[in-house]
């Protein structure tokens, strides 16, 4: 597992606008996958595979794992908690979106969302950290206390929770946290997702452009995992105002890394651009964006702002005009459907209800 320095935490002290998370606990005692390995260490290797395959296919207990001998199932039951996360609350939105608030064993809140689309697609939105150390001004997660990085088990257990309800086929790392600050756990979880129904091509990791992680993601990851960049502004001054992390990793460097991703993978990078009335939504800014982004490398997702108190969302008309400019410039652009807004499960709204457990 990467230490604080490797994930870029150590340098956060140099930038006062990013909360210092250097002292946050990066590891926890209870790591279910490891505990499982340990408990099965005296058993033939295929046992591990059997237990994992049951879990990945949505088993709800060890008791269901009928090809595992009963005494071993009993030992597992006793020694290895079935999930590293406890479910604290579940909320169902009118559009079928299901949001779950989990707690880690040491009391940190974690939220994840299942999005159900009419075409049958089932996308899980996963958190990589409890809270987030970055302080993007429009995002609710950035306003809550940062807890810690999640372990691979804690990330995977979010997906498995939904897999126990129904089959899943897409995953986005767009929940709480910055995945590139916890890359090892994110990749360890992603590598197991195919067994639960989600292939790398249907897995998307979203980043603010945290370069230490992004560079490693580009250089080291062999699977065709998709990349999304949270951009939100066409130039540095505004982007730094909206996202303080931009002072540390400016646009030009981040865009250059994304171009390297496209060159190596042959896949476009998705750009997320949340539409804030009177802030980043003028036709001039659309022109600027079209100039900044090479249409061969990027595809833009315009995201209606989900209220978090700080800004007003752009009107439909403003979004349409913005998109019109991008269309004319032949920069591929879509307006994202908003899901789960009535239960605060939409982008940037996670965690508004989750308070860190003081105990």
Q: Which residue in 326, 347, 351, 354 binds ligand SAH (CB under 6 A)?
A: 347
- Is 347 part of the annotated catalytic residue set? yes
Q: Does 303 bind ligand SAH (CB under 6 A)?
A: yes
Select 51 or 172, whichever has its Cβ closest to ligand SAH: 172
Q: Does 305 bind ligand SAH (CB under 6 A)?
A: yes
Part in contact with ligand SAH (CB under 6 A); list of ranges 32-40, 83-91, 154-162, 203-211:
203-211
Select 9 or 138, whichever has its Cβ closest to ligand SAH: 138
Select 156 or 174, whichever has its Cβ closest to ligand SAH: 174
> Which helix (H) or strand (E) covers residue 36, if one does?
helix 32-39
Binding letters toward ligand SAH, positions 148-177, x by CB under 6 A: --------------------------x---
Which whole-number Å values give the CA distances from 107 to 74, 80, 131, 199, 359, in the listed order?
A: 27, 18, 12, 31, 7
Compute the distance between CA of residue 231 and CA of residue 300 in angstroms, rounded to an integer.
9
Binding letters toward ligand SAH, positions 209-238, x by CB under 6 A: ---------------------x--------
Contacts of 211 (CB under 8 A, 6+ apart): 8, 249, 253, 254, 257
- Is 136 part of the annotated catalytic residue set? no
Q: Which residue in 154, 178, 257, 281 binds ligand SAH (CB under 6 A)?
A: 178
Compute the distance between CA of residue 52 and CA of residue 60 in angstroms, rounded to an integer.
12
Q: Does 133 bind ligand SAH (CB under 6 A)?
A: no
Q: Which residue in 208, 255, 271, 354 binds ligand SAH (CB under 6 A)?
A: 208
Contacts of 113 (CB under 8 A, 6+ apart): 97, 98, 99, 100, 124, 125, 175, 339, 340, 345, 350
Residue 345: closest CA among 93, 88, 155, 87: 93
Q: Which residue in 7, 182, 280, 306 binds ligand SAH (CB under 6 A)?
A: 306
Number of residues that bind ligand SAH (CB under 6 A): 17
- Assess contact for 117 and 102: CB atoms under 8 A: no
Q: Which residue in 9, 62, 138, 298 binds ligand SAH (CB under 6 A)?
A: 138
Binding letters toward ligand SAH, positions 262-291, x by CB under 6 A: ----------x-x-----------------
Q: How far is the CB of 138 from ligand SAH (least distance, A)?
A: 5
Select 59 or 205, whichever has its Cβ closest to ligand SAH: 205
* SS3 at position 248: helix
Sheet strands side by side (includes 333-335): 85-92, 98-104, 109-116, 122-125, 170-173, 203-207, 226-230, 269-275, 298-304, 333-335
Which residue in the list 38, 111, 166, 178 is annotated as catalytic?
111
Exposed/middle/buried for residue 117 (C-beta within 10 Å: 0-12, 13-18, 19+):
middle
User: Given the rule CB under 6 A, which residues bind ligand SAH?
Assistant: 138-139, 174, 178-179, 206-208, 230, 272, 274, 303, 305-306, 308, 347-348
Q: Which residue numbers are catalytic?
A: 111, 347
């Amino acid at each position: 597992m990467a230490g604080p320095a490797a994930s870029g935490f150590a340098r956060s002290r140099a930038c006062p606008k990013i909360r210092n998370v250097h002292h946050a606990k990066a590891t926890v005692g209870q790591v279910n996958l490891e505990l499982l390995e340990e408990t099965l260490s005296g058993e033939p290797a295929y046992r591990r595979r059997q237990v994992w395959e049951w879990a990945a296919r949505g088993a709800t207990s060890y008791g269901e794992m009928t090809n595992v001998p009963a005494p071993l199932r009993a030992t597992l039951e006793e020694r290895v908690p079935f999930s590293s996360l406890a479910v604290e609350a579940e909320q169902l939105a009118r559009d079928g979106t299901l949001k779950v608030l989990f707690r880690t064993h040491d009391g940190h809140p974690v939220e994840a969302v299942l999005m159900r689309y009419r075409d049958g697609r089932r996308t899980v939105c996963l958190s990589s950290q409890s809270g987030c150390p970055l302080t993007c001004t429009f995002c609710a997660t950035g306003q809550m206390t940062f807890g810690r990085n999640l372990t691979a088990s804690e990330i995977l257990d979010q997906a498995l929770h939904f897999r126990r309800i129904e089959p899943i086929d897409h995953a986005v790392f767009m929940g709480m946290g910055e995945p590139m600050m916890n890359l090892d756990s994110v990749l360890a979880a992603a590598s197991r997702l195919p067994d639960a129904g989600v292939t790398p091509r249907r897995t998307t990791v979203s980043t603010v452009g945290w370069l230490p992680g992004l560079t490693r993601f580009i250089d080291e990851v062999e699977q065709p995992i998709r990349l999304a960049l949270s951009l939100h502004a066409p130039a540095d001054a505004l982007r730094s105002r909206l996202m303080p992390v931009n002072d540390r990793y400016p646009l030009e460097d981040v865009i250059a890394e994304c171009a390297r991703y496209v060159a190596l993978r042959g896949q476009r990078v998705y750009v997320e651009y949340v539409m804030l009335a009177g802030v980043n939504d003028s036709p001039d800014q659309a022109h600027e964006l079209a100039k900044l982004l090479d249409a061969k490398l990027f595809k833009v997702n315009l995201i209606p702002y989900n209220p978090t108190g700080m800004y007003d969302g752009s009107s439909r008309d403003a979004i349409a005009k913005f998109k019109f400019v991008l269309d004319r410039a032949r920069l591929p652009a879509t307006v994202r459907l908003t899901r789960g807004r009535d239960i605060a499960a939409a982008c940037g709204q996670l965690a508004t209800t989750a308070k860190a457990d003081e105990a």
